[in-house]
Amino acid sequence: MKIGIIGAINQEIKTLKKIIHPYIKNNISNIKLYQGKFKKNIIFLIKSGIGKVAASMSTMTLINLYQPDIIINSGSAGSLNALLKIGDIIIPEKTCYYDVDLINFGYALGQVPKYPEKFIINDKIYNFCKKNTSKYELKCTKGLIVSGDSFIRKNSRIKSLKNKFPHAIAVEMESAAIAQVCYTFNIPLIVIKSISDLSDNSATFNFKKNISIASFQSAKFVKIILENLNNM
């Protein structure tokens, strides 16, 4: 099986690089790609860069060059749920953009024309992930994760996002863009994130303090998925 893994920044791929070591490193323009193995599977690990466009370009590059059987988006997110704490793992059932607004043309908030209102994670894949969280006694939360090109760092922004997307549990900057590309090319997607901050007035400080913890937590669960993926 060929598996693509996408993380936005160095911290989000650091542990994953160790998992697939030894690897071959390639630079494709600004995209850094590491090709290695885990058990019998070929792994293509990409550092995409931050934001929706960077994530889309990296996903498209991954699909065009290597035709992965499945893509995993691993990394960090800011909490929008009071029950989520730093280091908690989230496995969203669906994702959408929070900064797309075409409601005056009859679309739902966050919906891109000609695409579904939300990008839904495949039921079989989601249930497989949920089964493994129970098996390894990991605390994981399901729900909606929203993406946009801003780092959310104010209590007022949290309130606004919760009003617009009451079912959202977390916010970040890449997963919906990756999901849109995967949807277009019919590639199964798993999104695994860990909480780095609470998206509040202290978010910048907490992100810098906790990004390594969050990245390690998400990578830890990615490894569990890789260990069991062939049994899905």
In angstroms, the CA 202 to CA 72 distance is 29
With beta carbons less than 8 A apart as the criterion, state whether 191 and 73 touch: yes
Q: What integer best gives the mean pLDDT of the chain? A: 94
Location of structure tokens 């891109």: 112
Known binding-site residues for substrate equal 78, 152, 173-174
Q: Is the model's pLDDT at 232 over the cut of 80?
A: no
Q: What is the predicted pLDDT for the residue at 125?
A: 84
Pairing type for strands 70-79 and 2-7 reads parallel
Q: Is the model's pLDDT at 132 over the cut of 90?
A: no
Known binding-site residues equal 78, 152, 173-174
Q: Is the model's pLDDT at 136 over the cut of 80?
A: no
Q: Which of 107-111, 123-127, 166-170 has the lowest mean pLDDT?
A: 123-127
Q: Is the model's pLDDT at 139 over the cut of 80?
A: no
Architecture of domain 2-231: 3-Layer(aba) Sandwich (3.40)
- Active-site amino acid positions: 12, 197
Kindly give, in sequence order, each residue whose CB lies less than 8 Å from that of residue 230, ignoring residues fewer than 6 positions away.
1, 39, 40, 41
In angstroms, the CA 221 to CA 185 distance is 25
DSSP letter for 103, please.
G
pLDDT above 70 as % of the chain: 99
pLDDT above 90 as % of the chain: 85
Q: Is the model's pLDDT at 44 over the cut of 90?
A: yes
In angstroms, the CA 217 to CA 219 distance is 5
